[in-house]
Homo-oligomer: A and B are copies of this chain.
Amino acid sequence: MTPPKAPHSAESCGSPTDFSESVGQRLRHRGVTPTRQRLEIASELLREPVHLSADEVHARVRKAGANVSRATVYNTLSLLVERGLIRQVVVDPGKVFYDSNIAPHHHFYDTDAGELIDIALDDVAVTGLPELPADKQLDGIDVIVRVSSRQ
């Protein structure tokens, strides 16, 4: 593809996730005050690469014993996306995944299973994109390969 200057999102993002670094550290490094709720939420995502919906995050956090409201989950997820700690993947209207793998990559989306599967970027190339107008900046390239179970 075409890799110009660009900050957050699909192709360009911060440094790839180091899943061994402490969650609190990673939040601080991005200027996010590590409150108890944020640590709980971020831990569900940053402990290992996952694809979760906001509601799944909420459910997991509560299951883990923390009393966190939906509003806080949504606010925190937005914050983490904004700060480049996780990535948002929209596959359908009202179907949003939060992806803790921020290394550049793409996705299979299995419509039947409702499941997202990573495609490593070094497998895939998108070539021949027209140049951008001078006043635009590239924010990212999302490639979603939609699949379903054969009938």
Contacts A91-B90, A94-B93; A129 near B123 (Cβ below 8 A): yes
Do B129 and A149 touch across chains, with their CB atoms under 8 A apart?
no
Main secondary structure of the interface of A (DSSP, over half): strand
- In the assembled complex, the Cα of A78 lies from the Cα of B147 at a distance in Å of 19
Q: Is the CB of B119 within 8 A of A130?
A: yes
Question: What are 18 inter-chain pairs, A to B, with CB distance below 8 A?
Answer: A5-B92, A5-B111, A6-B92, A93-B96, A94-B94, A123-B129, A124-B127, A124-B129, A125-B125, A126-B126, A135-B149, A137-B148, A137-B149, A137-B150, A137-B151, A139-B148, A140-B146, A141-B143
Q: Which residues of chain B are within 8 angstroms of A136 by Cβ–Cβ distance?
A: 110, 147-150
**Cβ of A59 under 8 Å from chain B:** no
Does A39 count as interface, using CB distance less than 8 angstroms? no
A9, A10, A130, A146 — most chain B CB neighbours (10 Å):
A146
